[in-house]
Amino acid sequence: MEFSFDHLVHFVQNPQEAVEEMKSIGLHAFVGGNHEKWGTYNSLAYFGLSYIEFLGIRDRVKAEEAALHHDLTNQVINLLPTIQGFNRIALRTNQIEEVAEKARILGFNIDGPVEGTRTRDDGVTIRWKMLFIKHEQTELPFPFIIQWDQSDEERRLDLKEKINGHSIGRVEIEDLVFAVHDLERQADKWSRLFGLKKSAPYVDEDLKATCIQLSLGGGNLSFASPSGDGFLSDYMNQRGEGPFLLRLQGEQSIPAQKILGSYFQVIGQG
């Protein structure tokens, strides 16, 4: 089975505000559309086919109804409006049924695949399937799996005017960093389930952390456990485990800064 980084879900009170926040650091984001049956709506920022989804609640009554059978919507109603920030990532595949079977064999409970749709502002309805792999409530949530109705080539053509329209130039995702307590255990579990190559542990002096990276097309996944005081340890003291820093690679450098609950950084190629 092959996976790619599809998107990072960032819970926000107002997706339009996220568009303005991205613009303030030279990154292009735009209004996405509505998830009618889930009561949510979004804005989006693309880096190739990998993207950030800024997800908010449009109709709380409808969202609370949908939360009974949709894991991500359940999370968003429990956190918003109090807590904004990165929450969950989606891995893209064309083998979603095989992923479901492997998860069952490994003893995980699953939800799905379920159908999803979103109507864009231009009236076009896009479709996909989603699979959620269940976890203990005390655990770092697994990525959910997505399979689009379109091929990567079709989506790239459809999105060509929105991909990499950043005022600071071309930008790609370097890695998404997860704050974790048990570094080896989390890396082993995700590597085994998704078949991702795992690095040896290394020290990240900027984060004051010991890290392990999983190689993934479209954006790597890095797990980090604090080894000293810094913004990683501060984050964990406040929020616990979870994705907290998105490192991007671009033509210009932007130091790590907190935006709507989570950290963004652009590492200059020069």
What are the residues whose beta carbons fall under 8 Å from the beta carbon of 203, sequence distance 6 or more?
Answer: 209, 210, 211, 227
The count of other CB atoms within 10 Å of the CB of residue 244 is 24
Res 34: pLDDT: 85
- Pair of tokens at residue 119: 């109507």
Predicted confidence (pLDDT) per residue in 14-27, tens digit: 999 999 999 999 99
Helix (H, G, I), strand (E, B) or coil at 32: strand
Mean pLDDT of 140-161: 90
List strands edge to edge, sheet with 171-179: 202-204, 209-214, 220-226, 171-179, 242-250, 262-268, 254-259
Same domain, 240 and 219: yes
Cβ-contact 244, 235 below 8 angstroms: yes
Predicted confidence (pLDDT) per residue in 191-221, tens digit: 999 999 999 999 999 999 999 999 999 999 9
Mean pLDDT of 29-48: 91
Res 203: pLDDT: 96
pLDDT of residue 270 exceeding 70, the answer is no
Q: Is 105 part of any domain? A: yes
Q: Is 29 part of any domain? A: yes
Q: Is 178 part of any domain? A: yes
Res 228: pLDDT: 84
C-alpha distance across the termini of the chain, in Å: 35
Same domain, 256 and 175: yes
Q: Is 26 part of any domain? A: yes
Same domain, 119 and 78: yes
Same domain, 134 and 194: no
Res 84: pLDDT: 95
Residues β-bridged to residue 86: 10
Domain of 244? 171-268
What are the residues whose beta carbons fall under 8 Å from the beta carbon of 138, sequence distance 6 or more?
Answer: none
Mean pLDDT of 28-57: 93
What span, in angstroms and rounded, lies between the C-alpha atoms of 25 and 236?
25
Same domain, 145 and 195: no
Helix (H, G, I), strand (E, B) or coil at 169: coil
Same domain, 86 and 182: no
What are the residues whose beta carbons fall under 8 Å from the beta carbon of 100, sequence distance 6 or more?
Answer: 110, 112, 113, 131
Q: Is 19 part of any domain? A: yes
Q: Is the pTM of this model over 0.95?
A: no
Same domain, 136 and 249: no
pLDDT of residue 135 exceeding 80, the answer is no
Predicted confidence (pLDDT) per residue in 214-263, tens digit: 999 999 999 999 998 888 998 899 889 999 999 999 989 999 999 999 99
pLDDT of residue 31 exceeding 80, the answer is yes
Model confidence at 123, in pLDDT bands (50, 70, 90)? confident
What is the count of structural domains for the chain? Answer: 2
Cβ-contact 212, 199 below 8 angstroms: yes
Mean pLDDT of 2-23: 96
Res 52: pLDDT: 97
- Pair of tokens at residue 253: 């450098």
Q: Is 163 part of any domain? A: no
CATH of the domain at 151: 3.10.180.10
Q: Is 234 part of any domain? A: yes
Q: Is 166 part of any domain? A: no
What are the residues whose beta carbons fall under 8 Å from the beta carbon of 158, sequence distance 6 or more?
Answer: 150
Same domain, 149 and 230: no
pLDDT of residue 121 exceeding 80, the answer is no
Mean pLDDT of 85-113: 93
What span, in angstroms and rounded, lies between the C-alpha atoms of 127 and 138?
32
Same domain, 215 and 253: yes
Four-point Cα dihedral 264, 184, 92, 136, nearest 10: -100
Model confidence at 144, in pLDDT bands (50, 70, 90)? very high
Same domain, 19 and 107: yes
Query: Phi and psi for 3 in degrees, rounded to 5?
Result: -130, 150
